Amino acid sequence: MKLIKIEMRKALQGKPFLISLVIGVTIAVLGAVFAILQEYDIWHAWEKIINADGTMNSNPLLAVSSLFRVWLGGNVDSVYTMVFYYFLPLLAALPYSWSLRSELKSGFVKHMVLKCGRLRYYFAKFSAAFLTGAVTVFIPLVINYIIVACFVPARMPDPGDVIYHAVYRDFLFSKLFYTAPLLFDIVFMLLDALFAGVWASFVLSLAFFGLNKFVILIGSYICLLFHQYITRVIVAYRFFIELSPFDFLRAYQSGSPPNGLVVAATLLVIFGAGVVVTVVRGTHDDVF
Amino acid sequence: MMTFFKLVLFDIYNGIVKRWRYVLLFFLVTLMTNVILYIKWQNLGVDIPEALSERLTFGDYILYPMAGIREYVPDSGMPIVVPALWLFIVLLTAYVTLHYADDDLHGFGVNTLVLSQKRIYWWLSKCCWLFCSILVYVAVMCVSSLLFVWISGGVISTQISQTMPQILELNPRELVDAPWDITGALCLFPLTVFAVCLIQTLLSLYIRPLLSFVVSAVILLMSAYAQNPWLIGNYAMTVRTDIFVEHTPVSVSAGLMIVPLICVAAVACGVFRINRMDIINREA
């Protein structure tokens, strides 16, 4: 536990963590500001629709102008949502996933292994990478949610406005969205943070293959982009389930509907691969 | 001047010939996209048998990875679809050209820089290497497509077949009348990718290479979202150009003028930076 604390301190006090967090928070704040401004425009337009006696000239789609559609994870047509979710794996890996590679290269790992033992040391590194990755993604999402909630009312989503929310019947936890939307959004924030943690620890484990920092961080990201293209080709002809993390992490349907089993299996496979590589290579590789 | 040519040859040997695995990677990736396009065409023929009457051309195969996506209309309520293959190809190029210049400046490059006695030669040599790298990667993509056209019995022509707009999910009402020829895009695409990579290499002289990669990715993602002449990624998206689109297209001829200007500006900024930066005590 002490070792995890030390690693966490190293990770959270490092410049890369700060840079990642600043990038993430900047996207989240810009996303919130522009989304709120857009909603203000919509409310101004309502003045022409709603008469003084409360009657309406046409349907203003009141329930659509809601926190649950406007926040970063649920905003269908926001460029900031797109940028955030496309950078999510990079933001998660940037703070600490490179550290094991650096310590293997510098020889620092020899001291740590002698002092604490292999598995304890690698477990602490793995945990620190997981937690910092998760935190780097979770904080911007929460900040965005709070800012948007300060200005946009949390109107209950109406299933009749489904095309605006893009949360369709076969979407993951769709029932939750129309009954307890706050819980739905929290679940997606946690899912995003979980994926970020899993991805960060997986990228950390790639250090055992002797790859350099660029290949570890950017190469893995490029592979994820390739995976997205391939899954889109497969999905188009075989079955209509979202397979790419770039799409299934959002709280709306951007391609095919995500499936709970597929999401869980993806997380398990990535996490399992990271654990297996760390345990197998960590216990067998000669660090001296 | 002889020193400069020697530096360029050194960079071409070490940055392209010795890194032949990347060239092979581009060949294999293009071959794979060719196979996928062929399968898509065959699948289209199941629903529309007439689609199979016209064979796919070299232009179709080379267009497929360079296509991008049609203009996104914000506030339409539709989710943004990012062109996954286009983004992958351009970011793959940005990735493979990212760390060579930076690695060189942290290793053997410092010695060549000191021995050549002109910092500017080092930077211009890197620009030449980058241009040659992009040309080689695009040439390899063309060779791979030509090979596949020959194997699959396609047509060796730069014209685009009538079935491609359906495969690329373009709106037929937005298109200019056929025939569509890809020659202009074949010049603009590598030039734009070169500009993106050059900006990235330039930024890596100021900030960490990882962050300069993030900047390239932002430019490309923003380009996918907004059709704006200032977002240069638009010039690399062939389906947004006036080759295909009738109303408010990205002009190929404007691109062929603007993108070289951006490249010249980036080279000039690089000259300015390299002459003033502390190379010996640079942070790794």
Average pLDDT of chain B is 88
Question: B-chain residues within 8 Å CB-CB of A255?
Answer: 79, 81
Question: B-chain residues within 8 Å CB-CB of A225?
Answer: 84, 87-88, 91
Average pLDDT over residues B74-87: 80
CB-nearest partner of B79 from A86, A232, A254: A254
Q: Which residue has the tokens 């489904």?
A: A162
Question: A-chain residues within 8 Å CB-CB of B82?
Answer: 82, 86, 246
What residue ranges do the domains of chain A occupy?
2-284
Interior angle at CA A95, CA A141 and CA A106, nearest 5: 175
CB-nearest partner of B214 from A79, A90, A237: A90
User: Could you tell me the two tokens for B256?
Assistant: 């062929």
Q: Distance (Å, rounded) from C-alpha A114 to C-alpha B76?
A: 60
Q: B233 by DSSP, 3-state: which?
A: helix
B211 beta partners: none
Q: How far is B1 from chain A (nearest CA, A)?
A: 34
- Could you read off the pLDDT tens digit of each residue along chain A, which spans 288 residues? 788 888 888 888 888 899 999 999 999 999 999 999 988 888 887 777 777 777 777 777 777 889 999 999 998 888 899 999 999 999 999 988 888 888 878 778 788 777 878 888 888 888 999 999 999 999 999 999 999 999 999 999 988 888 888 899 888 899 999 999 999 999 999 999 999 999 999 999 998 887 788 888 899 999 999 999 988 887 766 678 888 899 899 999 888 888 899 999 999 999 999 999 988 887 777 766
**Spatial CB neighbours of B88, under 8 Å, sequence gap ≥ 6:** A222, A225, A226, A228, A229
What residue ranges do the domains of chain B occupy?
2-72+80-274
**Spatial CB neighbours of A132, under 8 Å, sequence gap ≥ 6:** A8, A11, A12, A17, A95, A96, A200
Q: Which residue of A has its CA nearest to B84?
A: A229
B76 pLDDT more than 80:
no
Q: Which residue of B has its CA nearest to A83?
A: B221
Do residue B210 and residue A79 have CB atoms under 8 angstroms apart?
no
